[in-house]
Amino acid sequence: MNRRLAMLAGTAAAAGAAGAAVAWWRRDSPGREAGAEIWSLQFDRPDGTRLVLADFRGKPLLVNFWATWCPPCVRELPLIDRFQNDQRARGWQVVGIAVDNLQPVREFLQKHPVGFGVGLAGIEGVDLSRRLGNSSGALPFSVVFDRRGDVVQRKLGVIQPEDLAQWVTTVG
């Protein structure tokens, strides 16, 4: 009887561990396919040129989804811009994906220029952010890619200096 109970307990523990592993994988897996897909994407820039995301592969990359009509997005842009300037020498790159239309973005950037590339995604940017793990589709939303091009961090909401410091430490 004790042996049977031990075998049952062992089987239950193994099943529980397998279930936990599957749950962890599912929790972590949103964005894996889109993370690979993102490198084939291109966006129009406000200046009429193209933003080709494949050009950013091979270095740490922060992709920030934002809009001119989103006050938290606008509030965090100067911090992200300083991050780009401060970390450029360490290989970091930043891309802003505007979930917005051309004219408001162009006008905004004329008043508040940034030193990183901005691509115009329009409302389709919400779908892309969802595929990268932003289940609510809310803004701002940021994704960090490592040098291999894999998604390593996600952040819904305003980026804080502590987030950036942690990403530099963990991603490189």
> What string of pLDDT tens digits covers the 172 residues of the chain?
565 544 444 444 444 433 433 344 334 444 556 677 899 999 999 999 999 999 999 999 999 999 999 999 999 999 999 999 999 999 999 999 999 999 999 999 999 999 999 999 999 999 999 999 999 999 999 999 999 999 999 999 999 999 999 999 999 8
Q: Which domain holds residue 26?
A: 1-30
CA distance 95 to 100: 15
Which stretches does DSSP call E strand in 41-123? 42-44, 50-52, 61-66, 93-98, 117-120
Do residues 100 and 128 share a domain? yes
Is the domain of 57 the same as that of 119? yes
Is residue 113 domain-shared with residue 157, that is, in the same domain?
Answer: yes
CATH number at residue 164: 3.40.30.10
**How many separate domains does the chain show?**
2
pTM score above 0.85: no
Task: Let me know whether 68 and 15 are in one domain.
Answer: no
Q: Do 9 and 48 have their domain in common?
A: no
Rounded Cα–Cα distance for residues 42 and 45 (Å): 9
Q: Are residues 106 and 22 in the same domain?
A: no
- Amino acid identity for residue 33 in this structure: E
